[in-house]
């Protein structure tokens, strides 16, 4: 087992690919926009980023942050305000990924119990992200305090519809592959070195 905690090329590639996929799905998902700031009723990136946070731990989660930065000019608020939006966007995958890893949930979602734990984490994570995100949009001038309830509800619904309907399909289909390939991270905070793993 390796003894030094260093980020390697594997983690950098995972973050880069997750960021690119998140950004691409975010731009594509703009067709479902129902509230200021790109808030949608079906948030396409959530379909991918929740499984990514479960497969790759913190490295998958970071794709939500960098991906948000990449598409922030597309939604009209630029890179600097995008930093704040990116911080909010980390909450849902962070909460879901950390919960599933910590509670050692069956990530193939083969049981009702596994899906129930995942679903509760998804509901809580989406709520935290929606509320924090709406306050960020107020701070950068894209919405008002009075509009927060509507915007947060749309944001929450957009996250949970994608996260509960299609993300579990990806988990069932691709988790076995990532486990066989050695790309799967057993802990949320960990660094891999070939066949070795350092736990955080």
The predicted-structure confidence for 30-69, as pLDDT tens digits, reads as follows 776 666 666 777 899 999 999 999 999 999 999 999 999 9
Between 151 and 195, name the one with better pLDDT: 151
Flag whether the pTM goes above 0.85: yes
What's the pLDDT score for residue 37? 63
* pLDDT band at residue 1 using 50, 70 and 90 as cut-offs: very low
Looking at the predicted structure, is the pLDDT value of residue 190 above 70? Answer: yes
Q: Half-sphere exposure of 90 toward its Cβ, with a 13 Å CA cutoff?
A: 17
Distance CA 123, CA 113 (A): 15
What's the pLDDT score for residue 176? 97
- Per residue, the 3-state secondary structure of 123-166, as one string, reads HHHHHHHHHHHHHHHHHCCCCCHHHHHHHHHHHHHHHHHHHHHC
């Amino acid at each position: 087992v390796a003894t030094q905690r260093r980020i390697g090329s594997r983690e950098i590639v995972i973050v880069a690919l997750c960021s690119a996929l998140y950004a691409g799905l975010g731009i594509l998902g703009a067709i479902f926009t129902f509230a200021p700031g790109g808030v949608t009723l079906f948030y396409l990136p959530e379909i991918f980023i929740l499984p990514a946070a479960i497969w790759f731990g913190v490295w998958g989660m970071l794709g939500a942050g960098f991906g948000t930065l990449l598409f922030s000019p597309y939604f009209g608020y630029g890179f600097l305000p995008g930093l704040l939006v990116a911080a909010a966007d980390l909450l849902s995958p962070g909460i879901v990924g950390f919960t599933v890893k910590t509670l050692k949930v069956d990530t193939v979602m083969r049981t009702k119990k596994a899906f129930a734990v995942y679903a509760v984490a998804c509901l809580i994570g989406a709520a935290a992200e929606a509320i924090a995100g709406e306050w960020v949009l107020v701070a950068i001038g894209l919405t008002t305090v009075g509009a927060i309830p509507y915007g947060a509800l749309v944001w929450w619904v957009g996250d949970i519809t994608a996260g509960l309907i299609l993300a579990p399909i990806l988990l069932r289909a691709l988790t076995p592959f990532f486990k066989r390939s050695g790309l799967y991270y057993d802990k949320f905070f960990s660094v891999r070195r070939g066949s070795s793993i350092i736990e955080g």
